[in-house]
Structure 1
Amino acid sequence: MNIPAANQVRVFFVVGEASGDRLGASLASELVAKHGNTVAFEGLGGEGLTEHGLTSLFDIEDIAVMGLAPVIARLPLILRRIRQTSDAIIASKPDLVVLIDSPDFTHRVAKRVRKAAPNIPIIGWVSPSVWAWRPGRAKAMRAYMDHLLVLLPFEVEAHQQLGGPPATYVGHPLIDELESLRPQSPNERLSLGTDPSTLLVMPGSRSGEISRHMPMLRETLARTNQLLVGEGYAPPTYILPSVPKHTTTIKEAVKDWPVSMDVVSSQDAKRAAMRKAHGAIVASGTATLELALAGIPMVVVYKLDVLAHLARRLVKVWTIVLPNLVLGRPVVREYVDEMARPEALARALKALATDTPERRAQVEAFEELDALMAGPDNQTPAQRARRIVDTFLSKE
């Protein structure tokens, strides 16, 4: 690890996966823009933070695992990495620690650091879903986290009510990407009725979600076509944005579907599809917020796995749809588990492929969502995060 000059302040990042690395890199960029070479970075990160001079303690792929079985298989290594990271922070005595997402890893690091070196300030960026389940985590976080930067407006009040650490809404990273999400010319998202409508099919990004949702989606789309053609409409154009690692599997799965499906895998192709689409059927998750910010009405579905089904009673939230949570009312229809029946989904999707009151209500609500997500100023999430960080670094 490079030894910084005496006049530098040092920020120690703890990042567990690629999305967190992107957030960390955006904050590092803002800190460098404001303070130049008087700020130095160390810790754990990926390519983005490495470009800002951070030499990562180890490859974050060591801890970027999801699902019960993969975590158990790699548990000895993960525990060793938790000790390694916390020991490095304690030895370095940085001016500030910034934890980004991956709470199963980063929060365990924070607990060890707080116990051994309570004077090192710790900021977290991205809140666990304490408002949905295990709300006691909020109060527990207060013991080892000095401030929390959150992505969703309602999370500030949620932490206040649950006794969590002081929180500031800095905005969701998607706010920085609105131009790529929304049509930039009338030729991208054509008016309904000009041509066949374009519908997105988004079964989820994890293999388990895809396997649970694809059979249901196959029948749903067949029924949707029947309903639309029966009323004199042309069959929609269907586009399925996939993550690259699942593209081959999905293309093979849709070969015998009764509807034609265009499977795309690059980020550019996905965003081009969003700028074109009139509606979507989507698995619950961050993709629902992405669609809402793109102005695309949607139907949300989710089939629970065995463990999630058993834990369903522990969930304390009234909706699983992020746009509904931000808006504070049920704008988007959701069909979970036994409610996710193709005949019901087809009727709901058909209403989004044509000019209906249901479709217009979502479009209008998403304009309201814009104002809620934008925040009180014209700054980016990274700029707002930098302001909070600076209060701990005594730079402002």
Structure 2
Amino acid sequence: MKVFLVATEESGDRLGAALMQALKAKFGEDVQFRGVGGYEMAAQGLPSLFRIDDLAIVGLAGITQALPKILARIRQTARAALEERPDVMVIIDSPDFTHRVARRVRKKNPGIPIVNYVSPSVWAWRPGRARAMSRYIDHVLALLPFEPDVHRRLGGPPCTYVGHPLVEQVDELRPNAQEAEQRLNGPPLLLVLPGSRKNEIRRLIEPFGRAVERIAKTVWPIDVVIPTTPHLQDLVVRETARWPLRPKIVVKREDRRAAFRTARAALAKSGTVTLELGVSGVPMITAYKMASWEIAIARRLIRVPSVILTNLVLGENVVPEFIQTDCTPDKLAAALAPLLSESPQRRKQVEAFARLDEVMEIGTARPAQRAAEIVAQVANKSAGRA
């Protein structure tokens, strides 16, 4: 079986690598991979058409500035897929890029089945995308348990919840007995997570730092840890150099995971990390800031009561969020302080997070294996029609 994969961001690269590993376990030497991916997919045997580093963009402004390069890479990727004539093409996340590739491929060769791994956020904005996807997507592999119902309601393609990768990382994220004792009774450890991209960090690091300063004056002693990645480490070090309470900055995976297991609370950028914190059982507040024109557009388009993944999965707004003008040091500190003690606010979040096991099928879901089964089924179904 020949599989053509397209992933252009680090998170998609991880998903793609796990899927490749599961397909190899299923088919052995009888599976070949082509397409676009990052370092982890390369390690699994994918000869990527190009490096994906410069395509990891965020926000409308970033997309606009990089548009000529993006369009050239879209054309290159679609041409390669059409030349390869794979048994199935799997596009992974990054819908601004991958769905344009998929539409081009479907138009030129309707016989190539296409699977979309990670549903676009049709439940949050532009719901009409779901029905439009039915014209060029044969199956959607969902990471969030409510997404199959959303696609059915909106007239989208067939959609199956395969599970979020976090469900297989519970042992890394949740404390053992000693760590649980440290989390509750040791000096409070506060996680600060200002984002995974440079522009996010630059916008959030100042209000986050001033909020931490206010917390340190009322809750003492306190330890602050900022988990980040190696390529962002220098930026985080520079941006936090003037903080009165100097944070510990960790980049190794094992150190980042250890911080999640012992943290008392977290101050985080809105995003996937909120679900990671929820699974870890770490109470949090979240914040986000965008360019003013971007937020004006987003407010007109977004159709959900919360942008926090943990809230959406639970169906309840248990995690406070401070967006744009609400993202001030005073407001952040006031909401964060109660989470560092045995307060009603803390208990509410901890009790809500306990429901994630059932909702996300933690302990039973095997995302990569489920995804591989469906990819194989879609490919075989297409071969049968041919």
Per the TM alignment, residue 379 of structure 1 is displaced from its structure 2 partner at its CA by 3.9
* Match of residue 331 from structure 1: 318
Is residue 217 from structure 1 mapped to residue 224 from structure 2 by the alignment? no
Which amino acid in 2 is paired with 1:267? R
Which amino acid in 2 is paired with 1:280? A
* Match of residue 6 from structure 1: none
Distance 1:287 1:189, change over 3 A: farther
Which range moves more in the overlay, 13-22 or 253-262?
A: 253-262
Per the TM alignment, residue 72 of structure 1 is displaced from its structure 2 partner at its CA by 4.3
Which among 340, 344, 362 is matched to residue 353 of structure 1? 340
5+ residue gaps in structure 2? none
Q: Provide the identity percentage.
A: 47
Which amino acid in 1 is paired with 2:190? L
Which range moves more in the overlay, 310-319 or 81-90?
A: 81-90
Is residue 262 from structure 1 mapped to residue 248 from structure 2 by the alignment? yes
Distance 1:266 1:314, change over 3 A: same
* Match of residue 5 from structure 1: none
The aligned length equals 381
Provide the rounded CA distance (Å) in 2 between the counterparts of 1:217 and 1:238.
Answer: 11
Per the TM alignment, residue 74 of structure 1 is displaced from its structure 2 partner at its CA by 4.1
Which among 222, 242, 267 is matched to residue 236 of structure 1? 222
Provide the rounded CA distance (Å) in 2 between the counterparts of 1:201 and 1:132.
Answer: 26
Per the TM alignment, residue 218 of structure 1 is displaced from its structure 2 partner at its CA by 2.4
5+ residue gaps in structure 1? 1-8, 229-233
Is residue 227 from structure 1 mapped to residue 218 from structure 2 by the alignment? yes
Secondary structure of 2:186's partner?
coil
* Match of residue 127 from structure 1: 119
Which amino acid in 2 is paired with 1:92? E
Distance 1:257 1:55, change over 3 A: closer
* Match of residue 4 from structure 1: none
- Cα offsets for 1:193-220 (capped at 9, x unmatched): x332111111112222222222212222
Distance 1:257 1:56, change over 3 A: closer
Query: After the TM superposition, which residues 254-293 of structure 1 pair with which residues of structure 2 at under 5 Å, given as runs?
Result: 254-293=240-279
The answer to whether the 8 A contact 1:62-1:78 is kept is no
- Cα offsets for 1:48-85 (capped at 9, x unmatched): 33334332223333534445555445433332222222
Provide the rounded CA distance (Å) in 1 between the counterparts of 2:55 and 2:226.
Answer: 29
Provide the rounded CA distance (Å) in 2 between the counterparts of 1:298 and 1:314.
Answer: 26
Rg comparison, structure with higher value = 1
Q: Tell me the TM-score normalised to structure 1 length.
A: 0.90
The answer to whether the 8 A contact 2:179-2:261 is kept is no
Which amino acid in 2 is paired with 1:205? S
* Match of residue 192 from structure 2: 201
Which among 5, 9, 12 is matched to residue 13 of structure 1? 5
* Match of residue 367 from structure 1: 354
Distance 1:16 1:360, change over 3 A: same
The answer to whether the 8 A contact 1:16-1:102 is kept is yes
Secondary structure of 1:201's partner?
strand
RMSD: 2.2
The answer to whether the 8 A contact 1:155-1:169 is kept is yes
Distance 1:82 1:24, change over 3 A: same
The answer to whether the 8 A contact 2:138-2:378 is kept is no
Provide the rounded CA distance (Å) in 2 between the counterparts of 1:156 and 1:122.
Answer: 17
Provide the rounded CA distance (Å) in 2 between the counterparts of 1:252 and 1:58.
Answer: 31
Secondary structure of 1:374's partner?
coil
Is residue 317 from structure 1 mapped to residue 308 from structure 2 by the alignment? no
Which amino acid in 1 is paired with 2:322? Y
Which amino acid in 2 is paired with 1:359? R
* Match of residue 341 from structure 1: 328
Which among 72, 96, 99 is matched to residue 104 of structure 1? 96
Distance 1:89 1:260, change over 3 A: closer
Which amino acid in 1 is paired with 2:208? L
